[in-house]
Every structure is written in structure tokens, then in C-alpha cells.
Structure 1
């Protein structure tokens, strides 16, 4: 069927997390707790860094505060709607609401990816080019990296949203996922989706893979530099500054590659729901803990933050 500019559906019916209705209250409670912890944890990181004048002007923590802010936005794009659907049992979303949810989900997800690449650059310069660190990672460069992350991500998301809006949905309005995403929508479209699929696997792959390749190359250079450090204590300190970031990168890209680097026709709600829960809820919740447990400066900033609240 030829693609046109109309749609014959005004709303979509989203997939339930569980097919057993008696489990809805349990899932709602668990996911609500995860969401609250995610928002409070990441908001605490943002406020602690903002209130600590020294950390705010340190590139690594400037990027971290932006990453925490984006994580709040990223999980908020999907989870509140899913919580409302789980509690009410009504899993409908309007056509416009679906496209809006897809837009913000993609935009914040790609911004996450770019910020992780910016943090890899910061670690590379700090370890491999320490004498040039102040010159390379100056405030203007950090602001430019963050602004570019937001701008390119939203342009990327806008492209996919415009292409999706050109498709028709006339065969079924049952979306095989618990939120609106590219592959589930392509799966139920009755239009020719070749262009959308091509863009996902070319421009989309280039955007995501570009950031990932940059991170991998940065850490390859970091590893070689650390291995040349003569003292064991020096090696330990260098690895400790990178361990948290590498953990977050591994979790984030592991689930993203699992879900998105496959043919759209092979999308399976049953197989990919767990991965989607991981990257929309669990990973944003874990990030604040990962970045603070082994970071003495972040622990000190949190102590000051909570100390000021108590006093």
C-alpha cells in the first residue's frame, strides 16, 4: 500500500506490562518506587553540584549534572503514562500524544548518548593530556558540547517524528509496546516504511554508533596511557575515575544495541519489554548511585547538600 499523508486512527492501544490484571497493583507499586527514586536521586545530584561552586566549574561534574537532568526527562517521557495506564487499566494514547512521546523519548535518549561521549572526552584529556586539560576543557568548550548534544538530538528526533507522521495506520491501532517508539509503530503501519527503516539503520545508527565508537576509542587510548603508569596506586586512581562512567556506558549501550540494532520486522514485545524497562527505568535509577559510591568529591558534595538542608 502506498504511503500517504493521512491516518485512519485517532488513538493507539498500548501493550500492558503484564497480561495478568491481578499483578497490576504490584507492578504499579514497584515502578512508582523506581520512578520516585530516579527523580529524587538525579535531582539530588543536580542540586548538590549546582550548590557546590567548585564542582560546578569542573567539566566532569558539569557533564554529570546535565546527564542527571536528562535522565529525569528521559524517564519522565514514558514512565508516568505507563504508571497511569497500569493503575487505571486504560492503555490508550492519542495519535498526537504518541508522536510527542516518541519525539521526547528519542531526543532525551540521544542526548544521554552524546553526554556520555562528552564525559569520555573529559576523561581522555584528563588522563592522556593532563598538561592541556585546562586549555582544552575550558568552560566555553563544555557549554558548546552540552548545547550541541541537545541541539543535534532534537533535530535527529524531529526527523524521525516527521517521517513517522507521514505514515498511515489503518490495519490496527494496537501498539505492541508499553510506550510509543519507532519500531513498534513501524510494525503496525500499513504504509511503505522503507524510508523510515533506512533512516533508522543509516542516520540513526550513525548518530548512536558515532558516540559509541568515540567512547571506545577514547577508552582505548586511556587504557594504553594507564598501563604506562609505573605505580600501582597511580593505576588504581586512574581506573577509579573511569570505572563509574564505563559502568553506565556498558549498561546504557548494552540495552540500546539489544533493542535497536535489529530489523524492525523482528521487533518482539515479549523479548524486548524487559530491555525497555531496563533503559527507561532501571538504568536512570542506578546512575546516581553508580556515580557517587566510588566518588569521594561527589560524596563530599552530598554531605554538604544534606548538611545545609538539616541546618
Structure 2
């Protein structure tokens, strides 16, 4: 059972694990360990022959994962991005897997810790890196990035209609010194936005956009989806939980493309219907239930999709 001390509220816990684990003696991957809510329930569903590889960029998540592995010999731990899932599976000595789970975006412990710089709800250092040992922090990035590029990131990844105004204000402010805290950034964005939305802080979209860019979230997702599908065994499943439209669009498009016949040029002496897809969609998109929404407001934007391999991988 999941320990009582484990208080992080895992989104779509039962739904995701039930969709994922179809072979109790199989080999599975949790590509986004977080604090291990999904992994612990996966282990509950596996027998003594089952194996679980857990992956995460975050050193705090890895500490938690290593504690789990120390108490359960079925668990292997790899620190890194799920974009490199093929290399992680190779390192574990496996050729294919029976299922992989990706729970996208930032975790509740990351959001709730002001030292990580993901949220403007409490002031803290402006970092936003899922792996604090790699790449530029948000403060460093804002200090050196041209105004046009800041505007592009905020528009493309945050769909913020005032992206240019915000970028201009940030570039003006950095002349006086580095933007070093989440509170500073949130206040500057609020100053730049001429019209406020009801029930939404004006910095919400910009924070999301900068975080997505710094962590290569969408690029990593595109790489991971392809790599995961390639490594699935027959009847293996890919389960993905998304939290915003940019992620879900990519997941939906990828799963549809893999589960439908190819689009063929006109005039070929074959028909698309003559090709059997290697994958199928499992059910419809799943959202959090009423009871879950009542206890975990962060689950309101979660969407889960599942893809299953239905023909053996070609050599």
C-alpha cells in the first residue's frame, strides 16, 4: 500500500495505473517519478517477476526514488530526461517494455517549494529548472535574452497576447539589475499587462512559458513519444497525462497518427485501408472525477490518453 506519510496528491492515480499495468510480471517505466505516487501503485499491481524503471531530472525526486529502490529490488533508478528513455532502457538491460507512464509538467512539490522558483504564490529565487544542475536559471535567461526572443517564448509557450509588452517591460527592468525573484518577475508582468483576467494572475501564462522553454518540455515530449512507442512490446501501453493544451495537442496528434492508416499520395496502386496500424487508441481521453477534483484542484486540467501496440515491432 502507499505509505500514509506520502502526502503528495497524485493526479489520476487509479486511472493511469489501471490503464498501464496489464501484465503483472511485466517490465514498466515511470518516466516522471516525481514523489512516486504512480510508481508505488504500479508496484502494488506487479508480482515478484515484475520490474519498474523510474526516471526523473529532479535530484529531490531521485533521492525519493533511491529510497524506494533500496526497499524494493524490483525498482531501478535513472536520473535524466524521459527524452532519453531508449538509453535508460538500454542501461537497465532491457530490449522492450510492457508499458510507460509520462505524467507531464511540474510536480506539486516543485510548485510548493519557493526555493525552486516555479510559482509566484510565494516569493523565492527565480530558477524554474527541473534539473537545477543543468542550463540557465530563469533569472540568468532573462538577463541575457533579446527582447524579441523573450516575446516569442511567452507567446509561443504561454499563448500570452501581451507578450511584447511583457518582454519590453522585462528588458527595461533588467537595466537596473537582475530580475532575481519570482515576486519581482510577477510584479513586472502585472505592470505590463493592461487588462487583467478574472480569477487568473496576469503572470500565469508567462511563468508557464518560461518554465516550458527552460526545461525543453515540448521538445523532450516529442522525442519521448517516439522513443516510447518504438520500445513497446506487443500489447504494451503508453499512458500520458497532460496538463495544458500545448502538451495535449502533441500527445493527441502523435497517438492519432500512430493508430491510423498512413496518408498515401494519390495514384498509388494501394489503399491506406490496406495497411494495418501498429497501434490503437485505448478508450477516450480521461479527466479527473468529481471526487478527485473536490480534493485536488490541480487535477482540473489533467487529460490522460492511452496508446497500445497491437502488432509486433518490426526488426
TM-score normalised by L of structure 1? 0.28
User: 1 or 2, which has the higher helix percentage?
Assistant: 1
User: 1 or 2, which has the higher strand percentage?
Assistant: 2
Q: Whose RCO is larger (CA < 8 A, sep 6+)? A: 1
